[in-house]
Amino acid sequence: MPNWRTTATAQPATAIDVEEIARIIDAHIHLEGPLLPLLHALQEAFGYVPEHAHAPICDALNITRAEMHGVITFYHDFREKPAGRHVLKIYRAEACQSVGGAAMADALLAKLGLDWHGTTANGAVTIEPVYCLGLRARRDGR
């Protein structure tokens, strides 16, 4: 059950990046528990969480690099490097398995020569698992 989502193309580290990062940090720093909204905003802007955003975030939030790294790596959503131009999320949970989801996923991964989270050599597609998008009451199973 493909769910195509296009992500922004990765930007090189430029002065604009630094300004953009500072702007995003400023926009979120007042929140209670700002780190997740902040990381989401960075990923929205750059397609991943750029490494040169780590130090300014740690400074602004008064957390260590280790805490920061711990959070980024805990959550499936956050990427430390750019994904393919398209991110293809395939349902893997029980409801989809009940209608043959696992076989479809295996066939697709084999065809692309990828494992879960892999990106094709031409950078076109990244395949990620997703555990239910809450749509599997659909009759046609597309």
Partner 1 sequence: MKIYVPMDSAAKALGAEDVVAALRAAAPEAQIVRTGSRGMIWLEPLVEVEIDGVRHGYGPVTVGDVAEILDGSSAKALGPVEDLEWMKRQTRLTFARVGVIDPLSLSDYSAHGGLIGLRRAIGMSGAEIVAEVTNSGLRGRGGAGFPTGIKWKTVHEAEAPQKYIVCNADEGDSGTFADRMIMEGDPFTLIEGMAIAGLGVGATRGYVYLRSEYPDAIAVMRRAVEIARGAGVLGSDVLGSGRAFDMEIRVGAGAYVCGEETSLLNSLEGKRGVVRAKPPLPALEGFLGRPTVVNNVISLATVPVIFEKGAQTYADFGLGRSRGTVTLQIAGNVARGGLFETAFGITLGEVVNDLGGGTLTGRPIKAVQVGGPLGAYVPVSNFDVPLGYEELDAKGGLLGHAGLVVFDDHADMLQMARFAMEFCAVESCGKCTPCRIGAVRGVETIDRIAAGDGAAIPLLTDLCETMKDGSLCALGGFTPFPVMSALTHFPNDFATQKEAAE
The yes or no reply on residue 32 touching partner 1 (CB under 8 A) is yes
Is residue 80 within 8 Å of residue 10, measured between CB atoms?
A: no
CA distance 91 to 111: 17
Tell me, residue by residue from 73 to 112, as one string, x for binding to partner 1 by CB under 8 A and - for no binding.
Answer: -xxxxx--------------xxxxxxx-------------
Distance CA 54, CA 39 (A): 10
Residues 111-130 that bind partner 1 (CB under 8 A): 130
- Closest C-alpha among 71, 69, 81, 5 to residue 43: 81
User: Is 36 a binder of partner 1 (CB under 8 A)?
Assistant: yes
Is residue 58 close enough to count as binding partner 1 by CB under 8 A?
A: no
Residues at the interface with partner 1 (CB under 8 A): 31-37, 39-40, 61, 67, 70-71, 74-78, 93-99, 130-142
